[in-house]
């Protein structure tokens, strides 16, 4: 059997110690520059997700309370009261790190909030408003006001 000739390849030169040290230093500098931006993006995304969760929770709570108020008119066996409607909102509301919510209940036209009764055919509106403190890396904390509303017609 014929063997192919051996190719003589010169051995690879190893990098000197100073070249490895400068390479390690550049990786350290690049990591120090990129890591704060990565964490700011990560924590900012988490903060927005928490605010979105609170907002969806507030919308759900308003919808449930408006539905309750619309089916419990003054002629029903168990008429809805403002305190009962506010209790339903509080039960269904998820709040993480925001202020105490302000819950409003309106009967009649949505704006301005009329003092009509919970009679069949009237409109009922339930609203929640709260403020959220959003931390910024360079500007401290900023306060954002959020609100959710739901309106239904009292049906029975």
Two structure tokens written together for 16: 């000197």
pTM as predicted = 0.74
CA distance 29 to 135: 26
Give the three-state DSSP class for 146: strand
Residues 12-67 pLDDT 10s: 766 665 656 556 678 888 999 999 999 989 988 998 898 899 999 999 999 999 99
Q: What is the pLDDT of residue 20?
A: 60
Q: Across the chain, what does the average pLDDT equal?
A: 84
């Amino acid at each position: 059997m014929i063997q192919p000739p051996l190719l003589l390849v010169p051995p690879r030169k190893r990098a000197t110690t100073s070249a490895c040290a400068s390479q390690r230093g550049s990786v350290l500098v690049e990591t120090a520059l990129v890591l704060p931006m990565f964490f700011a993006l990560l924590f900012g995304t988490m903060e927005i997700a928490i605010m979105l969760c609170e907002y969806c929770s507030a919308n759900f709570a308003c919808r449930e309370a408006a539905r309750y108020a619309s089916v419990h008119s003054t002629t029903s066996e168990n008429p809805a009261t403002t305190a009962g409607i506010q209790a339903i909102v509080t039960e269904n509301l998820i709040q993480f790190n925001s202020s105490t919510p302000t819950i409003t209940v309106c009967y009649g036209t949505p704006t301005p909030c009329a003092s009509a009764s919970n009679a069949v055919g009237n409109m009922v509106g339930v609203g929640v408003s709260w403020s959220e403190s959003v931390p910024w890396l360079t500007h401290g904390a900023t306060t954002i006001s959020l609100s959710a509303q739901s309106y239904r017609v009292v049906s029975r």
